[in-house]
Amino acid sequence: MIQFEKTILANGLRVIVHTDRSTPFVAVNVCYNVGAKHEDSSRTGFAHLFEHLTFGGSKHVPDFDTPIQNVGGTNNAFTTNDITNYYITVPANNIETALWLESDRMVGPKFTKKGLEIQRKVVIEEFRQRNLNKPYGDTWHLLRDLSYKVHPYRWPTIGLTPEHIEQATLEEVKDFFFHHYAPNNAILVITGNIAPDHAFRLAEKWFSDIPEREIKNLQIFPEPVQTEGRELTVHRDVPIDTFYVAWHMSSRLDEDFYAADLLSDILSGGNSSRVEERLVKGQKLFAEADVFLSGENDPGLFIATGKLNEGVDFESGRQALIEEVLKTAEAQVTPHELEKVKNKVEAEQVFNEIGYLEKAMQLASYEILGDAGQINQQADHYRNVTADNILKVASGILCSDNCNLLNYLSLKK
């Protein structure tokens, strides 16, 4: 159980505070309701590029890093398809430095030509390092593009291509800021060694003078129901053949999500899971295999993948994994399996309630979904799932018409 208090400032900023006296630190976490899904399809990678740009200094702060180092803190940020999240951790008595910086980031970044030029280069190097220079690095580009035809989950946060980032102009950058970065489109979470009323007073002091702004989001069209299976085969300079099978599933808030999550655990969470026991160890088809959820807020993907062992025929290996997954649409999982994955989820939730920063991020992500209080409801959602729920969800998701198959083959063969 995570206790927290919440208030909303006059400008629309939601402020959430959780006190944890076991640490000498506080976390200041600001989560903006803007991610790659809010991008124009001809300007992808923008939310992430923008995250980089905001570290170049803001209206009244020449550079972000020195003040944080000066108070013994650390800071970083990440962008997903749904959100952009910034965080600072500082020894508790230096919380005002963190609030000064995060509030000024919201007032407005320092937009300069040179800053944009450099960060464009840095992000393109990040693109190369993560997606082009690494074996299998373009997997998500291919899989998303295959699985989504309409919804902006079609591209990963780094963007569709480095060209979109190369072409970003200063005008577009400014425009992006004023349409998305605003107190009424953000959540401030403060966790750690601080009392709620003190935290609220300081939040008011640093954030209340930032004006509400008009948020202009492009309309996000839902992905139409897929009516025909799709298949894509690519050949790359990689050592081992692999494949991905992706089925469309529910959104994060749907009750079906919990059943799907437990199902993926039954299939491949841990060494005693079905895939590990039957296909990796039993039939020795795979060196590694995994079944997991893409885990986004809007309707996401239920994914199965495996790297085949040397000498295993590609088609039959792939078929074996697909069949193992499909079995769950035909017969109920056993009571033992269900109890096992529920215990696992329960333990993981307790493990996750230990770090003050992790708690801040989780509170923010549930508030983005509509209600931070959901953090304390999750255990119940999981506990209530029945074997019948899982069977129903599995047979709903795992149809061939709803299936996207990516064959990722080694050039050497």
Partner 1 sequence: MTLKRNNPPPIFGVDGVEYIEPIRFTLKNGVELFTMQSGDQEVVKIDFSFKAGSWYAQSRLDSIMAALMLQEGTKTLKASEIANTFDFYGAQFSSSSSYDYNYITLLSLKKYLHHLLPLVSEIIRDSSFPEEEFEIVRQKRKQRAIVDSGRVGLIAQKSFLRNLFGEGHPYAPVASPAFFDTILLRDVKLHYDNFYRSDNMTITASGFIDTEVIQLITENFSSSWGNSDTAERGNNHRLPIADKMVFIEKEGANQNAVAIGKLFPTQNHPDFPGIKLLCTILGGYFGSRLMSNIREDKGYTYSIQASPISFLHHGVFLIFAEVKTDKTEATVKEIFLEMEKLNSELITEKELIPIQNYLLGRILEDFDGPFARAQTFSSLREVNMDFEYYNRLIDAIKTTTPQEIRELSQKYLAPETMSTIIAGIR
Residues in region 141-200 near partner 1 by CB under 8 A:
none
Question: Cα angle at 157 between 137 and 410, to 5 degrees?
Answer: 15
Distance CA(247)–CA(240), nearest Å, equals 23
Residues 282-321 that bind partner 1 (CB under 8 A): 284, 287-288, 307, 309-310
For the bound state, the minimum distance from the C-beta of residue 372 to partner 1, rounded and expressed in Å, comes to 19
Q: Does 14 bind partner 1 (CB under 8 A)?
A: no
13/90 with CB nearer partner 1: 90
| From 40, 277, 330, 388, residue interacting with partner 1 (rule: CB under 8 A) | 277
| From 10, 22, 221, 227, residue interacting with partner 1 (rule: CB under 8 A) | 22
330/339 with CB nearer partner 1: 339
SS3 268: helix
Q: Considering CB under 8 A, how many residues would be counted as binding partner 1?
A: 80
Residues 357-396 that bind partner 1 (CB under 8 A): none
SS3 16: strand
Q: Does 67 bind partner 1 (CB under 8 A)?
A: yes
270/370 with CB nearer partner 1: 270
Cβ-proximal residues to 127 (8 Å cutoff; 6+ apart), any chain: 45, 158, 159, 162, 165
Please give the DSSP secondary-structure letter assigned to residue 221.
P
78/136 with CB nearer partner 1: 136
Query: H or E segment at 125?
Result: helix 113-127
46/55 with CB nearer partner 1: 55
Distance CA(379)–CA(258), nearest Å, equals 10
Q: Calculate the CA dihedral of residues 379, 381, 386, 387 and round it to 10 degrees.
A: -80
| From 113, 225, 228, 350, residue interacting with partner 1 (rule: CB under 8 A) | 350
Distance CA(88)–CA(77), nearest Å, equals 9
Q: Which amino acid is at 112?
A: T
Residues 107-136 that bind partner 1 (CB under 8 A): 107, 117-122, 125-126, 128-129, 132-136
Q: Does 240 bind partner 1 (CB under 8 A)?
A: yes
Distance CA(98)–CA(57), nearest Å, equals 14
